[in-house]
Structure 1
Amino acid sequence: MAANREVPPMVVQSGMSQADSSNLEPIVVYAMVSINYAPVLGANVLATITSPSGKKFNITLLDTGSDPDVRKNDGVYTRYFTEFVEAGRYAVQVQVTGLGNQTISSTSGPGSAATYNPGLATSDGTVVTNPKGPTAAGNETNGVSTSDLDPFTRVVSPGGFSYSGPLVDPTVDVLPPGKVIDLAVEQVDNQDLSRGVRLTFSAPGSDYDSGTARAYQIRYSYASSSSLTNNFEGGILVTSAMATQGDVLSPKPAGSDETMVVELIAVPVDRNALSVWFALRAYDDSGNVSPTSNVAMMNAFVAPYVEPTPEPTTQVVTSSETTTPQPITTTTTTTSVTSTTPSVKTSDIDNQLKLFKILTAVFVLLTIILASALVATCVVSCSLKKHGKKVKTEMEKRMEKQMALEMAAARNNHNGIRRPEMNLEIGHSNISYTE
């Protein structure tokens, strides 16, 4: 009972996720603890489950935000029950105990389930945190004075549930780790993405929310949240070498707070702001794997991409009178000239030389072909001219002979001499006389 009459009474409500089970599906047992409609935090909540034969199982209900609990510090304490040792009716009893000054009641009410906005980036790139956020000064959770709460105990019974499925074999591990439902991610340094991102979540167990898992498999994507929910194996795997804080191969016991700092790889360089999605799975020693966690998204701020410039090389040019470079002075005639030129890769120079040699060879070959054609043309032209002169000389001689014969025949006819008949053929002549 409360020490102060002004303090409202403590209210405890308990229940189960289902009244019947038949396939080793775990039963969720929960209890809601509140005072004046505000959640009570830090209470010890113990559920006692009795089998049909009278065997008792005690499980501590937790308000840590890990599966099956939905939200941390909301006054709802939950746990899985999986010890189905026989078929029949199981009875459930819940006992809530407050230890006085160790029990806190949140007077801020249940609050809103809306997504929390941690801050924004201004036009000059400065990140401003949310002044109404839980990390801002003066926004801490307020609670009633612990002196107003006496130690208390409440016992409620939600009834029970029936089980008709196969029995649990303690020598065979068939129960997977629990699902992580509170995964969150934030940039370690809002001005420098190279420092990595911080992942926080509640550790699942090896059997739902009991024990310790064997390892985590964390993956992320720059595409979308659906790329992880639909194809988890297609995401970028976070290895132990990428974790600068925490270890994906050494999970903590169920319900513990996990914090890991991870360096990102394959960061796109074609944008100044990008979104990154994270999800994880847990594995146990028997190879059982948990369902994929909730997908946590982070808007990362990256520095503008700048095209890298080649490193300059210093080349010293000296006069021919000296063999070593000397600084410029007023007392010597040796001068030193320092020039800075961008470095050029040797492979690029070799490629350019090879191309120049090929083009030179082609040019020489074309020149030879053109010269040969000109020589052949000249030879043919000279031959044709010489042959034409020879033909012309022979024809002129024949014409002169014929004209001489005709003139002689004309004179003979005029003087009464027989006229010879000429048969002029090329190369010879036949003369015959007629009366």
Structure 2
Amino acid sequence: MRRKMLSSAASLSVLFAALLLPAGVAASSRVELVNNGYENLVVGISPSLPESEGATLIPIIKDAIKKASEVLFTATRSRAFFRDVRIVIPKSWSNTDTDEVAVFESFKESELRIDNPNPVYENQPYTRQPGECGDPGEFIHMTPAYLKEQVYSYYYGPPAKVLVMEWARLRWGVYDEIGYSGDPKYPIFFSLPREVADGRTDVQNQVVYQVNVCTDTYLNGKERMWFDESMRCTYTHEGLPDGDCVFFPDANQTATSSLMSFPLVFSDTLVEFCDDHTHNSLAKTKQNDRCDGQSVWEVMLQHSDFKGNANPAISQAEEPNIKVVRETDADYVLVLDYSGSMSTADRMVKLQLAAQRWLLHEVPLYSSVAIVRFDSTASLLAPLTKIVGETERKSLANQIHTNNNGGTSIGAGLKMAVELLEGRSDKNVFLITDGEENEAPMIADVMDEIISKKLCVSTLALGGNAAKDLEKLGDLTKCPSFTVNDNDVSNALENAFEGVSTRQQSVSLEESFIKIEETPKIQTPTPEYEGSFFVDSTVGMNLTFRLKTDAKSHVLSGPSLIKPDGTTLKGAADFDDIGNVWTIVVPEAEEGAWHWKVTLSQDSSKYIQATVLALPRDPNDAPIVTTVKFLAPATGVSPKDQNIKIMATVMKGNSPIRGADVVAYVTPPDISVSAQEYELLDNGVGADAVSGDGIYSRYMTKFAGEGRYSIKALVKGGSSASVNNGPPPPPTYPSAGRRRRRSTDLDIKPKPCCGSVVPYDPDTAAPTGNFTRVASGSSLKVIDPPAPDEDILAPCRVPDLQVAELYGLDEGGSILTLIWTSPGDDHDEGTVSDYTFRLSEVRPDLSNKGFDEAPPSTLLHFEREALNQSGVLVPFGSSVAFNVTYKGAFTFGTEYLVALKAKDEAGNGSPVSNVASFFLDQKLDLPSWADELIKTIKKSNAEFFSQS
């Protein structure tokens, strides 16, 4: 028999927008901490902003950086400041004064980006952090309105202090130490045992709770509705302030930490990060949850900036050196391998065709291109030539021949590229090779000169035997690396060329071609072939259809396009007889399903391949764009040492797209193995950091040998996909006298975003309708992968464990009902085999370091057969509930912590889950609302099980 004690829930010439980007800030950021000063920090101003903003924005940015450097110096205890900063403005801002021409700086690779708002955050600064604790973020986002309008400094804090907070997230991979109004995982208030000092009490002086921040002293302040500071809060059945309640600290505080609790704690005294002495490891913050209870300072000390006492404290910081630079037309040197091994698998022929197509159709107008060939020595095929029209494109394309022989001296080709780019500004080298270097000079012989002259060297490895140091070359120059295997049918070679030109140049989305379709290479014996693609409402201007083949004779008649109404588009396709490409341009393509067809020779040894691009339909309406990449070092990573994430973004401008279908295709180095499919998810579990933010993720769990892996993503939208246009408006309260306006109104202080979920308003969300997008990413080098019969991948961490119900047993002990989302057998793939549950009063028992060694008394018990029959051992992503038994006795007024670890059939254990908490207060079973609470939880549990 059991009796219920308590229910408690724990709290083209125009560039592609389907970009190929290097992986994360670790791959593309050139920022270094040198003798306590950060160098090469880039602030990028979006090309979507009008030049008229520059005169106001640039002085504000300079002032914010200077003040932020002082804040940073204090916060890091005199160990770091900003020394060298570049503000890069768009190439189109021709009337704005600059100090220099940009060399490596671009908006797309800047650490701090000034851009139009993301509607989810509105004008709140934020940092994109798709990785784990300690991983670098991707970029900081600030809006012009935030920088210019004083009211936003009142809402979110002054730019200098906020920039340091965001820098901590970007550089050191730490998180907020605040709660969020209405957030189920990181609430703004959480319950405390009555015996705990410094707690707050509800209006009936019954329930003790705490503001969810990390501060070194008690905070004075008041609870009020977030949309009206004059309105007192209402309270839940549990006695906590409800989801519309926030905390307004008094102006005068004595707390000095933590900066990561700002601006919820809006105080000038907050100047430090929490360390182990001041950190509150029990606060229900993102920092505690994502970093295993570690303080911000503890995580920072594990970063190379400070690890091993690097960059010890100094007496005084230098004044930041800030310069304004303008993006310029890029210079490219193609460095092509002409060694004898390039005859293998027709690599030379494939390279010739891809390079010619890039020169004829993709390389940006007004850029300059040179071509270098190397074998045992290097020679110049074409000097730097400015692309101003078709004449230059054809002249360069005709210089690429297929007469290859000799050894491999990559260093010779690179040395000539360095000489060609002497005195130039935006210096880019694209090195393509298939073999190990075997003749001097070597890569190492020219590496120092390449770095000192700030060249960007992108690399492409053809086949499986290319030089081992290619990724290192790309990493040291902070540029992407690509790979193409000999059996590639996915157009990866030409996508790599596109990636080189799109990574550098920043253009507004209004000027960007969007790739809406790309077929694989199609080899068929049929006399006719027909394909289709969908033109959505956001694109359609200058739609460009291209059909490529490796033999002109294979295509008996040029392709034709059939419009959505069934009529065939008039006019013949243009043919490029150098690259073997047919092109059809539609000035304004109708929305809907288009078809194309072509007559073929029936020679299945030849291929055709189709690509469809289009400009945005309305320059004032942002198109849907996507990117994909590996979140791992391109230089090489072993799955035995580090989890590898696959990440795709799906956005309409800066607005997240929810409900899209995203599939990533990973091509392994083994040409006998097909591309591996991964369904990427935006659900906040497994590899995905936050639900609903437009970032779709999955762990890489399939490996086909050591070598280089390439990636591509296909995105589809349908009836379930929508554009998140921002959070819901404030609720209506009678005492307010009127319905409040949306949080964009300046008289309403907006809610900070985002905790565990991204706010979403179905009333303002816009359906996307049908759409498709294609994106490719840079390559990943996998070292020491697991053998086919070796199981080394553990289940992923459970992020959402909760204690749903608690029952006391007459014979002693208690039963806890736990709910969570199931992990996978291999990270977020498959089905786990076992669980271990623990309950403790102290957090170290439930840390990753302490869980397995915690006392036996902390174990929560269950029958193995019950686990097998309960529906808990189910595939990744399923909602589950399970009863466990605690054999000890609970003490009223004591907080208890619960966590779990999952195991696979090989015994690999997951990281410890989030820590769920509850406590028993003798007064909780006396108030009249206790029965209502139990009924509420019973109802929610019934709903939970009905949805499972």
**TM-score bracket for the superposition, by shorter chain length:** 0.5 to 0.7
Distance 1:16 1:87 in 2: 16
1:2 matched to 2:537: yes
Change (3 A) 1:261 1:23: closer
Change (3 A) 1:176 1:144: same
Distance 1:259 1:155 in 2: 38
Greater Rg over alpha carbons, structure: 1
Distance 2:676 2:756 in 1: 38
Identify which of 287, 291, 316 aligns with 2:907. 287
Paired position in structure 1 for 2:644:
27
Distance 2:629 2:644 in 1: 10
Runs of 4+ in 1 over 4 A off after TM superposition: 3-7, 143-146, 186-189, 194-198, 241-249, 261-265, 302-306
Give CA-to-partner distance per residue, 1:9-37, whole Å, 9 cap, x none: 22323222112213534421011222343
Change (3 A) 1:304 1:10: closer
Distance 1:258 1:179 in 2: 15
Distance 2:924 2:763 in 1: 46
Tell me which amino acid in the other structure corresponds to 1:2: S
Distance 2:880 2:668 in 1: 34
Question: Normalising by structure 2, what TM-score?
Answer: 0.26
**Which secondary structure does the structure 1 equivalent of 2:627 belong to?**
strand
Report the alpha carbon displacement of residue 58 of structure 1 after superposing the two structures with TM.
0.8
1:260 matched to 2:878: no
Change (3 A) 1:32 1:261: farther
Change (3 A) 1:38 1:85: same
Tell me which amino acid in the other structure corresponds to 2:537: A
Tell me which amino acid in the other structure corresponds to 1:63: D
Distance 2:903 2:877 in 1: 16
Contact 2:628-2:775 at 8 Å conserved across structures: yes
Paired position in structure 2 for 1:278:
898
Paired position in structure 1 for 2:776:
157
Report the alpha carbon displacement of residue 305 of structure 1 after superposing the two structures with TM.
10
Give CA-to-partner distance per residue, 1:202-240, whole Å, 9 cap, x none: 21111111110001111111x222222143242622223
Tell me which amino acid in the other structure corresponds to 1:87: E
Contact 1:95-1:155 at 8 Å conserved across structures: yes
**Which secondary structure does the structure 2 equivalent of 1:240 belong to?**
coil
Matches within 5 A, 1:181-220: 181-186=799-804, 198-220=817-839
Report the alpha carbon displacement of residue 97 of structure 1 after superposing the two structures with TM.
0.9
Contact 1:14-1:30 at 8 Å conserved across structures: yes
Distance 2:791 2:830 in 1: 12
Distance 1:142 1:257 in 2: 24
Report the alpha carbon displacement of residue 149 of structure 1 after superposing the two structures with TM.
2.0
1:228 matched to 2:811: no
Give CA-to-partner distance per residue, 1:156-190, whole Å, 9 cap, x none: 1121111232x43222322222222333345579x
Give CA-to-partner distance per residue, 1:270-306, whole Å, 9 cap, x none: x3x3322111111111222222222223344445899
Distance 2:649 2:924 in 1: 50
Change (3 A) 1:208 1:145: closer
Paired position in structure 2 for 1:76:
695
Report the alpha carbon displacement of residue 7 of structure 1 after superposing the two structures with TM.
5.8
Change (3 A) 1:87 1:304: closer
Gaps of 5+ in 1: 117-133, 307-435
Matches within 5 A, 1:279-428: 279-303=899-923
Change (3 A) 1:64 1:198: farther
**Which secondary structure does the structure 1 equivalent of 2:880 belong to?**
strand
1:178 matched to 2:796: yes
Distance 2:777 2:790 in 1: 31
When the two chains are superposed, the root-mean-square deviation of aligned CA atoms in Å is 3.7
Paired position in structure 1 for 2:682:
63
Contact 2:721-2:769 at 8 Å conserved across structures: no
Give CA-to-partner distance per residue, 1:32-64, whole Å, 9 cap, x none: 222343322211110001112333111111122
Tell me which amino acid in the other structure corresponds to 2:726: S
Tell me which amino acid in the other structure corresponds to 1:77: Y
Distance 2:907 2:653 in 1: 46
Paired position in structure 2 for 1:169:
787
Bigger mean CA offset, 212-221 vs 34-43: 34-43
Matches within 5 A, 1:17-166: 17-18=631-632, 19=634, 20-22=636-638, 24=640, 25-54=642-671, 55=673, 56-99=675-718, 101-108=719-726, 112-114=753-755, 141-142=761-762, 144=764, 148-165=767-784
Contact 1:243-1:263 at 8 Å conserved across structures: no
Greater RCO (CA < 8 Å, at least 6 residues apart):
2
Contact 2:806-2:817 at 8 Å conserved across structures: yes
Contact 2:656-2:724 at 8 Å conserved across structures: yes
Report the alpha carbon displacement of residue 77 of structure 1 after superposing the two structures with TM.
1.1
Tell me which amino acid in the other structure corresponds to 1:181: P
Report the alpha carbon displacement of residue 257 of structure 1 after superposing the two structures with TM.
2.0
Tell me which amino acid in the other structure corresponds to 1:104: S
Distance 2:925 2:627 in 1: 57
Contact 1:104-1:144 at 8 Å conserved across structures: no
Distance 2:833 2:867 in 1: 18
Tell me which amino acid in the other structure corresponds to 1:268: F
Contact 1:94-1:157 at 8 Å conserved across structures: yes
Bigger mean CA offset, 210-219 vs 259-268: 259-268
| Alignment coverage as a number of residue pairs | 275
**Which secondary structure does the structure 1 equivalent of 2:894 belong to?**
strand
